[in-house]
Amino acid sequence: KPYRKRYGSYERRGKIKNRVSIEKRPKIVDKRQRLGDWEGDTLVGKDHKSALLTLVERKSLFTIIIKLENKTAEAVTKAITRHLSPLKQKVKTITFDNGLEFAEHELISKNLGAKVYFAHPYSPWERGINENTNGLIREYFPKGTDFNKVSELEINLAANSLNKRPRKTRGYNTPDELFKGTKTHLLRL
């Protein structure tokens, strides 16, 4: 059955095949008690001509920001696989919204050995950590930014800055410390 868009119009772009609902995601993911549960999203640039992919680890808030060549499912899959493969042992689940750029989720799952889940349509609060992080990223790259004119260095500096920013919700530890295990006593929260 096609997903209904708001105000009664039907979604015409197609839908993601074999998507697994967030309802089937293990309950431990909600508790943020382990490393390895990620949320992913895209930030669209000026005139929808450029985009960034954001990946946030739920427990530590460790953030990866990737400049995309384009917002196709193929480009997104390639970027996720390239950046998360070295961290494979720290990737158990990934939760996305219903953007068609995540249509190749089965390939992502196979490449990383992780389960992929999708939030309900029009329910950004189900991936609140990622949505909040996107707001923080907008401090560096406001709406209307053309990401084609932003260098990889600037993107990496923004990600580094976020990962080294002490977070009140994490006992004023940085995502970097928590993700890389330099504050191991806090990983058992």
Residue 129 in any domain: the answer is yes
pTM for this structure? 0.88
- Residue 3 inside a domain? The answer is no
Residue 137 maps to which CATH number? 3.30.420.10
Q: What is the pLDDT along the chain (189 residues), one digit of tens a residue?
A: 455 555 555 555 568 899 999 999 999 999 999 999 999 999 999 999 999 999 999 999 999 999 998 999 999 999 999 999 999 999 999 999 999 999 999 999 999 999 999 999 999 999 999 999 999 999 999 999 999 999 999 999 999 999 999 999 999 999 999 999 876 454 444
Q: Which residues of 87-124 are buried (b: 16+ CB within 10 A; e: fewer)?
A: beebbbbbbbbbbebbbbbebbbebbebbbbbbeeeee
Domain total in the chain = 1
Handedness of CA 113, 91, 63, 154 (dihedral sign): negative
HSE-up of 153 (CA within 13 Å, CB side)?
0
Domain membership flag for residue 14: no
Residue 58 lies in a domain: yes
